[in-house]
Structure 1
């Protein structure tokens, strides 16, 4: 029964990963025969300051996104679970950004965050506040990208949390109410423990999505100036398709895959340890 899915997975996932791994040990510019260089590409990335900058930017985006997105999406799900006026419309409104193409999301936010033409700096100027380098600078760019990513993903995460809340056993919550538990105590001691698996799913999805961020960077900054706003994927794109350093780009792709796997597996292991301890 799993044969067709296994074949498709092998063709479109396993084979490309192994193909990229093989090319990561070569020097290849798109023509001629690949030249085997061993770990030369990985050594070159280790000594590349732009690689470390893109890694730092990706780490900042990941930390900020998880710290804000997970509790924010859960809080929205709790709020919209209540019977409020126009609840369905509000859920659709929150989910709306999740169905917009990332390239369009980047374009929308350019007109908000751009230091010269952005709406945000125009609002600040109306109050006599000096313009801020929201994107394209040395400090705020990864945080701005994280905010855009959160805005585009919170509806998707909220929907998963909302679905998890719908299947919670009502009798347990009703029993806690009869025992005098407040709403916050129910959330802390009953709802969150019962939704550990949902939290794990949402967290893993957000981690993998952060490691795939490309379109937002491409539209907001193009990775500039001088690669200071690159993420791992956008820098991989630059190396592979702009500089035509296919071997170096594939080495970075392998590193991205390994890092994403380490972070995801590490979180799952930590989550299971907490579940076992509880």
Structure 2
């Protein structure tokens, strides 16, 4: 039976392989046509996704590279007259780093496990009572890291990687809290939040947006979409559990407004 480490590593490598292929296609399209806005949007999405995943895992060098790539592509999107060379150079560096990981997954020992969700020390974060949390994110790596952190603290964690799967999970049992990836929320124009607001069965479930966006942008998005709160992505289990615990202990209120 595969260990938790092997499962996490497999998820991370599979996701990085898909991102690698997509970024190569976008890079080649932009080299051929620097004004290709569709390729730039796709590259921006991939860079942001990679950055989000790497906020959850213990690969500092690659995480720093992904952050610089995300920022460079974001600057390129904001300035249509900007040369794409700096961003494409960072794409090449990122592709090289990811390809290197793909070539040698078997050589990664325990010291190179891409997982940060481990409780530091032996002091558990106090929780008044065990609750069920639904985690919604399109990254299997992020889902596994957060699930392990929450279950390690005595919480029950359900996971969904699409909005449809999240709605299905809620229809089967009512979680005490939904931790929702911001990019999924925005792609579906807050569909889940609107459903939680209008459906009498679900309206008491608080929704907390989860993202690697800067604090100010994440706070604004939570207000715009009517979420009960927000949480920046982190691979530190204590931070995840402490934030979720704090939201669980707040008096129940509906997400999405009255």
Q: TM-score, normalised by structure 2?
A: 0.25
Structure with greater proportional strand content: 2
> Highest Rg: 1 or 2?
1
Higher relative contact order (CA 8 A, sep 6+): 1
Structure with greater proportional helix content: 1
